[in-house]
Amino acid sequence: ASALRSQDKEPISREFELDIREGYQTGLISSVTELHASFYAKNYGFGSVFERKVATELSKFIGRVERPMNTTISAYTGNQLLGSVSLDGEDLGEGTAHLRWFVVSPSAHGLGIGKKLFERATAFVDQYGFRQTRLWTFQGLDAARHIYERSGFKLVEEKPGTQWGTKVIEQKFIRKMPR
């Protein structure tokens, strides 16, 4: 029921106070999972496989988010999550950051929140000296792709896949450390 209610929230007013927070916040796992599950179910037909994958993998990651090479960056107005992105500096091996769980609430689309989150994410990656950052997404998420490419990511691979429980054209993007 809460997932259905979140789809019907009023858009955020352009006059709001944005609070960017780094690290774990109470309710982050459920809020990020709900944003992903409801958006991708409504727009792309993703189901329980995707929701379980987000919840399980995000929960495991949050167990080690306080280690220096990992972070999650979230945007709030008051206690309402507007968007989030996480960087896992451990799961892909030394020197490679894994950008994961990037999402912006549909009620906050077009307000520049994704851009702000990505600016903080790339600053984190550069600060810790990762040689590269990788992310997986799928074809058709044009607004997100624009943010990725504007942030220095390049599309390096496309292939049909079902890692999220629905057949899509999966895309792998890589951003190399600026010189």
For 131-167, write each residue's pLDDT tens digit: 999 999 999 999 999 999 999 999 999 999 998 888 9
pLDDT band at 4 (very low <50, low <70, confident <90, very high): very low
pLDDT of 108-122, one tens digit each?
A: 988 999 999 999 999
pLDDT of 26-49, one tens digit each?
A: 999 999 999 999 999 999 999 999
**Is the model more confident about 11 or about 25?**
25
pLDDT of 74-106, one tens digit each?
A: 999 998 999 999 999 999 988 999 999 999 999
CA neighbor of 32 nearest in space, from 118, 24, 18, 137: 24
Q: Distance (Å, rounded) from C-alpha 117 to C-alpha 86?
A: 10
Predicted TM-score (pTM) of this structure:
0.87
Q: Distance (Å, rounded) from C-alpha 99 to C-alpha 22?
A: 15
CA neighbor of 131 nearest in space, from 88, 179, 171: 179
pLDDT band at 2 (very low <50, low <70, confident <90, very high): very low
What percent of the chain has a predicted confidence (pLDDT) above 70?
91
Q: Distance (Å, rounded) from C-alpha 18 to C-alpha 169?
A: 34
pLDDT at 137: 95
Query: Tell me, what DSSP letter sits at residue 76?
Result: E
Written as six digits, the tokens of 48 are 């329980």
pLDDT band at 7 (very low <50, low <70, confident <90, very high): very low
Residue 6 has pLDDT above 50, yes or no: no
